[in-house]
Structure 1
């Protein structure tokens, strides 16, 4: 269900997405309200599940994770139990940073990060040997053009 937010809530979210370490006093100043109601609003957004958490954005390549690959997985069976079993397996693989169920020719798309191609190849061997995996296609990224973790506040949501 879509949360009901007013203009101040949207401003708060935009500011927090830009800088999650901003102080409440500075946030309140930027959105045009005093600090106590600003903090109440932030807490309400957290309780509603609109704000899921806070984290640092880390440069993986600077830590030795220079290979990013997208893997598209097609399962032999799309029965709910089989989809759930595969999803549980995905959650246990550290190399998989994102995974989405998708429509079309594949069942899952995974964003994988590895230190090198041989590490990723070893993972592909494990992935293809996983029960119910029919086939896997991979796409090695050459260059990242955009990486925007934020929700686009410039686009008005429908409804």
Structure 2
């Protein structure tokens, strides 16, 4: 398990982040080491939790999910059990793609996708009726100017 990342580890992470389907041979070539140690490094990065998994990025609109909404949720109680209960509720909801706990007035912000507004409205009704939910405010996404799921590894060099 790497204690700190060296330059080769950062190159490996950058390449995998750019193309999760890259072969080990190509990855090794791009980072300047031979394939066996490259594979060992990738496995060590996985085991250490730097690489959490591999996914394909899908276009929700092409798959019929034309509505993206952010929902700001304020709970009536911030007791640990109530926060956990809300998180458990959200984890079971397929329209919720991301859930972030925040500091300040809003307790959670949810990123949701739906095939249409009617489907989302049904979900909002369920969300507002969920235990300990005080209020929900929604913001419909009109346009996405930037979507980059990657970690800005180029800033890591500044450390």
> What residue in structure 1 maps to residue 64 of structure 2?
64
CA-to-partner distance for each residue in 1:22-73, whole Å, 9 max, x for gaps? Answer: 0000000000000000000000000001000001111110010011000010
Extract unaligned runs of 5+ from structure 1: none
Cα deviation digits, residues 79-137 of structure 1 (max 9, x gap): 00000000000000000000010011110000000001111111000000111100001
- Please name the residue that 1:36 is paired with: 36
Partner of 2:154: 154
Q: Does 1:128 align with 2:124?
A: no
Q: CA deviation at 1:154?
A: 1.4
Structure 1 residue ranges, 4+ long, deviating more than 6 angstroms after superposition: none
TM-score by length of 1: 0.96
- CA-based RMSD: 1.4
Q: Distance in 1 between matches of 2:37 and 2:9?
A: 11
Indicate the residue corresponding to 2:73 in structure 1.
73
Q: What SS class does the counterpart of residue 156 from structure 1 fall into?
A: helix
Q: 1:157 to 1:34 in 2, by over 3 A?
A: closer
Deviation at 1:156, TM superposition (A): 2.2
Aligned residues: 158
2: CA distance, partners of 1:16 / 1:85: 35
The separation in 2 between residues aligned to 1:32 and 1:156, in whole angstroms, is 20
Aligned to 1:9: 9
Q: Structure 2, unaligned stretches of length 5 or more? A: none
Counterparts of 1:104-123 in structure 2, within 5 Å, are: 104-123=104-123
